[in-house]
Amino acid sequence: MGQMQPRQRAVAVSAFDLPESGQLLVYGCEDCACPVSVADPGHARHADRSATSQAGAGDRWIRAGDARELAIDEGHWAAFNPAGDGGVVVLNAPAREVLRCFDNPATQAQAQAAAPDSPDDIDAVVSRLRRAGIIHPVGQPARPAFGESATLTAWLHVSNACNLRCPYCYVHKSAAGMDSRVGRASVDALIGSALAHGFTTVKLKYAGGEASLNKKLVLELDAYARERAAAHGLELQAVLLSNGVALRPAFIEALKAAGVRIMISLDGVGAAHDAQRPFVNGRPSFRYVEATIDQLLDQGHPPHLSITITSRNASGVADAVRFALDRGLTFSLNFFRDNECAADVADLRFTETELIEGLLAAFAVIRERPPAWSVLGSILDRGQLLQPRQRPCGVGQDYVVIDHEGKVAKCHMEVERTLGDVFRDDPLQLVRRDTSTTLNLLVDEKEGCRDCSWRYWCSGGCPVATFAATGRYDVKSPNCGIYKAIYPEALKLEGLRLLRYAGR
């Protein structure tokens, strides 16, 4: 008779097992309004540890009603509770048996008695299930914790000019640009808003048009903003949003020295990119963008890549993702949003089927080589699965748009719908008081969202896109079906990442 093989130990892994896990969270918000009410990355960790330490030996626990189990390979499952604070837990087969002990109310001692593993192994599995809200005390289901944002984010529209003509762009192009007087007044107004409303950080997004066409002003404003922020005890963060066709080495070095990050728009490889990001004269731009990305890497200042998906490039998104992963670059996927400038370009509007197919092809590439950083914050458009939120973005809350003349708007997609200016007004107060432009409602106020278990992750989707499609702000996103289709697949990717980098 052959020798009996030892039983596999029960093992569960989560982001808590990753060294410096908080530094591996990437939010794909560089080309949009950053999310509001995002808790500190350590918030859930500390809260869960506290709850775990207070659990009594006789306490009964039960599996969360909304908890999902998703097979990620033959021997592992990803568990996730969309009604909690988030966090994927990867279970091997014995650990999955431990979870099943809580299909009905059970104490930890009862779970230990039901599973033949050592008590320490069971304790470790149960601890991770508790932390992620996969199980909860009987009668006390997990509830998401929403943090208050400490960062005031501003889109500075430094140039209305652009050397490309992307058909989905929402900006009416002209040669106009922001000057030093307007720029400095904008910085002063933003610092004033941050101080008046209790923010500790100001984040500036130098944008356009093509922001690098006004590079002298970008460097001047960044230096001025850092000086003013430091004088008031504020942290300053900054990013340049660029099409990447003409960033010179000296400018890159200056941005690197100043600590200004760079986001490059890349919509595919070769023809897929060129189909929607041509020069003014119609010539293709991909080779110039590729050269800029290589230059940034050579100079030690790697960019974040923003990929906008339309019907034209949906089938080529996987190649763009492969391009990023080959170079070790972070990236985000963004769905095309209908707007006034693009209204006549009918072939940009994707169908639900073609977008899902394109995304799943991109996910297959990630599955082959999961990066060390979590993709849950950057591959799901305005939805994400890192931390629960009540709104999809900071519009009307902690986000301000300032155009090249110093006029204030709520959203960069509606930059021409201005409310006041930086010379006379508190920019944040303007956008918070406004009810005449974009309404960024709480997800629980939206029809079709209130009873959905995913609502604190998609948060109802982009309000501008929803209004363009439905004429209402208080209904679910037109991309709701897409989100529901891809969320489980995205969670599987997170499971694979944890297996590779935190597996034991």
Whether the Cβ atoms of residue 50 and residue 132 lie closer than 8 Å to each other: no
R_g of the chain, CA atoms, integer Å: 24
User: If phi over 0 gives left and psi between -120 and 50 gives alpha, with beta otherwise, what is residue 164?
Assistant: beta
SS (H, E, C) 388-444: CCCCCCCECCCEEEECCCCEEECCHHHCCCCCEECCCCCHHHHHHHCCCCCCCCCHH
Please give the DSSP secondary-structure letter assigned to residue 16. G
The whole-number pLDDT of residue 359 equals 97
Whether the Cβ atoms of residue 461 and residue 483 lie closer than 8 Å to each other: yes
| CA gap 494, 13 in Å, rounded | 11
Q: What are phi and psi of 374, to 5 degrees?
A: -75, 130
At 239, is the secondary structure helix, strand, or coil? strand
* Cα–Cα separations (whole angstroms), residue 255 to 83, 238, 258: 41, 10, 5
> What is the value of pTM for the model shown?
0.92
| CA gap 173, 171 in Å, rounded | 6
Q: What are phi and psi of 207, to 5 degrees?
A: -140, 180
Pairing of β 407-409 and β 201-208: unpaired
| CA gap 422, 430 in Å, rounded | 10
Largest interatomic CA distance in the chain: 88
pLDDT tens track, the chain, 504 positions: 444 445 678 899 998 888 777 777 888 777 787 765 444 444 344 344 434 434 555 689 999 999 999 999 999 999 999 998 879 999 999 999 999 999 999 998 888 887 766 778 889 999 999 999 999 999 999 888 888 889 999 999 999 999 999 998 888 889 999 999 999 999 999 999 999 999 999 999 999 999 999 999 999 999 999 999 999 999 999 999 999 999 999 999 999 999 999 999 999 999 999 999 999 999 999 999 999 999 999 999 999 999 999 999 999 999 999 999 999 999 999 998 887 777 677 788 899 999 999 999 999 999 999 999 999 999 999 888 988 999 999 999 999 999 999 999 999 999 999 999 999 999 999 999 999 999 999 999 999 999 999 999 999 999 999 999 999 999 999 999 999 999 999 999 999 999 999 865
* Cα–Cα separations (whole angstroms), residue 309 to 114, 211, 352, 362, 449: 49, 22, 12, 12, 24
Whether the Cβ atoms of residue 338 and residue 349 lie closer than 8 Å to each other: yes
Whether the Cβ atoms of residue 8 and residue 494 lie closer than 8 Å to each other: no
| CA gap 214, 34 in Å, rounded | 24
* Cα–Cα separations (whole angstroms), residue 372 to 91, 297, 468, 504: 19, 18, 37, 16
CB atoms under 10 Å from CB of 104, counted, come to 11
Whether the Cβ atoms of residue 364 and residue 433 lie closer than 8 Å to each other: no
pLDDT tens digit sequence for 351-384: 999 999 999 999 999 999 999 999 999 999 988 8
DSSP letters for 186-214:
HHHHHHHHHHHTT-SEEEEEEEES-GGGG
